[in-house]
Structure 1
Amino acid sequence: MTASMAAQIRERLQAALAPVELDVADEGHKHAGHANEGKGHFHVRIVSPVFAGKPPLKRHRMIYAALEGLMDNGIHALSIDARPPDT
């Protein structure tokens, strides 16, 4: 892979969900000694108008859909904070 996994996550979420805020953090260092030696642990904080009126489960499903192919292929664990603007 030429781009880092965090960059790939960022690119896919930007393209699919048009966020007004997006932060992708590699949290592998917090999971040293865990499965995959902490590799592939990420936290996403995303604010997008497309989440307006959607419950958290639907928002998470939208994120997983955007990251299809990366889950279990570079992403081992993903924590998500997904919100519409002004919440």
Structure 2
Amino acid sequence: MPMNASDIEHLIKTALPDATVVIEDLAGDGDHYAARIVSESFRGKSRLQQHQMVYAALQGNMGGVLHALALQTAVPTGD
């Protein structure tokens, strides 16, 4: 059974409470998502480390019930 976007967002926001999370279902099948995550927690981290933080937040669901997730991570920008 595929994961829904709200479950993905909940897992990420639980691990990264300050994050702004936008999830898009790319294929309409609940298996292929894109996520844009902006979090102060990413500051000073490499892109790889940022993505590892998101994968850790997904608690092992990546590659299982969550088949594909295209990630875009960023730190907040000042106004």
TM-score tier after normalising by the smaller chain length: 0.7 to 0.9
Unaligned runs of 5+ in 1: 30-37
Aligned residues of 1:40 and 1:75 also touching (Cα < 8 A): yes
Q: TM-score, with normalisation over the residues of structure 2?
A: 0.84
In structure 2, the residue corresponding to 1:14 is in which secondary structure?
A: helix
1:5 CA displacement: 1.8
TM-score, normalised with respect to structure 1: 0.77
The answer for the alignment partner of 1:14 in structure 2 is 13
Runs of 4+ that moved beyond 3 A: none
**Equivalent residues in 2 for 1:1-87, closer than 5 Å:** 5-29=4-28, 39-86=30-77
> Structure 2, unaligned stretches of length 5 or more?
none
Q: Which has the higher helix share?
A: 1
Shift of 1:39: 4.6
* Structure 1 range deviating more: 73-82 or 44-53: 73-82
**Aligned with 1:60: secondary structure?**
helix
Instruction: Determine if contact 1:5/1:74 at 8 Å carries over to the other structure.
Output: no
Residue 47 of structure 1 contacts residue 83 of structure 1 at CA under 8 Å; is this kept in 2? yes
The percentage of aligned residue pairs carrying the same residue is: 35
Q: Which structure's CA Rg is the greater one?
A: 1
8 A contact 2:51–2:73 mirrored in 1: yes
Deviation string, structure 1 residues 2-34 (Cα, Å, up to 9, x no partner): xx52111000001101244210111124xxxxx
Aligned length: 77
